[in-house]
Structure 1
């Protein structure tokens, strides 16, 4: 394909036009707070219940977001008759038991990334969802942003020629007392930050055939930073870096035989990118409002549409893709020890 004269339009549907479902939320932390706020501001979805390990935490969250029902247990949320779909926003090490709790109760379930702490856990969740016959998806919200629909179209149209390499980073400074520094909560950069990097690399270059990685520990014992070199089918490569100890540009690049695509930092959030011809034929710019985590509602609208249509997952983030990401993260973790 020759270098395009214009970028394709995003095919993302209006989130407010999605069928309205009633959501129950497990967990009252940082990501749950932003998820609910995004749904309330930008979508047609209704959050009707929240559960926490303590009644006081659930009630405070409910009061803050105008949620009718606050429960002091997760069991009460998944057992509520007026909850259509459960969003799991508990710590990583609780995703497996909480997901099984929801799925075995017959609830459609959206699980905050990572799907599990390992690929083994993710496969357990996928099997439970299949047995229950309900919708299940990882909340990899980036996949549902309009800019990533445009990016996928460019790759499908071979606007970059043959993709050859990915170079991407994700670095953020965290205080020593942050939960990401705690080994017992599955801390470290891989499940929180590198999951975005690996997801991006797999989407651009396909399956991984070899993993090389080195890591450096943080004082608490979790990995503090990691550099990884992934070899993909056909010999293409991804060079990825992530750290908890400092802020980095958090950009991503796909380099192809005919063009390169540079995604502005933070690459995993709403924002822009530039497509530039390798042959000097010009460049094209994509921009969207950089609303950060206010963009979490796009995935909820997708969930609502798929559930209403009787589907068990989304082609934009099938469970097989979530498992493939965790297979690579497991391999990186192993190479670092």
Structure 2
């Protein structure tokens, strides 16, 4: 019989609601508790999804225990403090994107997880997508020669009531959308050696749009664009000396990719559920086998991504004259 890891969900908003069908589809996951800042929301969430325990505060949920892993699906500004509380309470922890608000917070969480011997990971589900894994193998096998460039855009016109407009919750296009672009560039090319960026800022000072150029040795580069005030098709292109790979129609969770050399070859993949299942499964397996990190999505990569996002925001806030 399949062993199940007991999960508690922290948060009852859009992200938690969207992820729940895949959590319940994952054969080695059992959601046993949910917490919210609002007791009625927690109770309603529990009723809808058949979760046995619900709590009107995260602190009470973590104090009561009775589970193995805390899945943090709350707004970005709460990720670091809730992850810290979960780790200090003795729980393995999966944190939604963006991992934290800056690289210092990310590094602090990684140190804390190691101190307590607990599993910790950013829920960058893209890395577990079968198309992304197939693309990684193509690149590793030299299918497009040496990789030279990554281009990735992602834009949505977010409504004014969206959390991305609320500075108290972690506002800005980079946190809500751009973390995917930056993570893809890091996944393919690694951390950049130089960063230039421009963007449009809101009156409160957070970025509404961002366009970044990431420089690497040997003339390699990434061009990334993100917007929360206009649509941009989330297609990614990886250029090499002998070909190109196009990931789309959405590189976040693709169902297909195209290999372009002398001819064009289109490959389709099947997703499990909405696409979260492979990540949830591997996290549960890691916890069951005593791992504290997954090599496919290590903490060092999440910290490096946050460092790049920090630099992009600094460049936008103080552009070169």
Shared fold per TM-score greater than 0.5:
yes
1:227 aligns with 2:211: yes
In structure 2, C-alpha distance between the alignment counterparts of 1:221 and 1:302, rounded to whole Å: 38
Segments of structure 1 that go 5 or more residues without pairing to the other structure are 1-16
Could you report, residue by residue, the CA deviation over 1:79-108 in whole angstroms, capped at 9, with x for unpaired residues?
A: 334211110011111111100110001100
Q: What is the aligned counterpart of 1:144 among 102, 109, 128? A: 128
Q: Do structure 1's residue 262 and structure 2's residue 263 form an aligned pair?
A: no
Q: Deviations over 1:210-232 (max 9, x none)?
A: 00000102355421111111002
Shift of residue 305 of structure 1? 0.9
Find the partner of 2:8 among 17, 24, 27: 24
The whole-number CA distance in structure 2 between the counterparts of 1:18 and 1:330 is: 42
Matched, 1:336 2:320: no
Residue 162 (structure 1) aligned with residue 146 (structure 2): yes
Matches within 5 A, 1:1-337: 19-218=3-202, 221-277=205-261, 280=262, 282-289=263-270, 294-337=274-317
- Describe the SS at the equivalent of 1:82: coil
Cα deviations by residue, 1:141-192 (Å, 9 ceiling, x for unpaired)? 1111111111111111111100011111000111122111112211111112
Secondary structure at the counterpart of residue 193 of structure 2: strand
Distance 2:247 2:162 in 1: 28
More deviation in 135-144 or 233-242?
233-242
**Which stretch of structure 1 is more off in the superposition, 321-330 or 180-189?**
180-189
CA contact (8 A) 2:42 2:54 kept: yes
Whole-Å Cα distance in 1 between the matches of residues 248 and 127 of structure 2?
16
User: SS at the partner of 1:299?
Assistant: helix
- Give unpaired runs (5+ residues) of structure 2: none
Matches of 1:316 and 1:86 in 2, distance apart? 20
**How many residues end up aligned between the 2 structures?**
317
* C-alpha RMSD over aligned residues: 1.6
Query: For residue 8 of structure 1, what is the aligned residue in structure 2?
Result: none
SS in 1 for 2:121: strand
**Secondary structure of 1:284's aligned partner:** strand
CA contact (8 A) 2:153 2:224 kept: yes
Q: Deviations over 1:25-54 (max 9, x none)?
A: 111111111111211134431111000112
Summarize the Cα distance change of 1:84–1:91 in structure 2 as closer, same or farther, 3 Å threshold: same
Contact 1:95 1:111 in 2 (8 A): yes
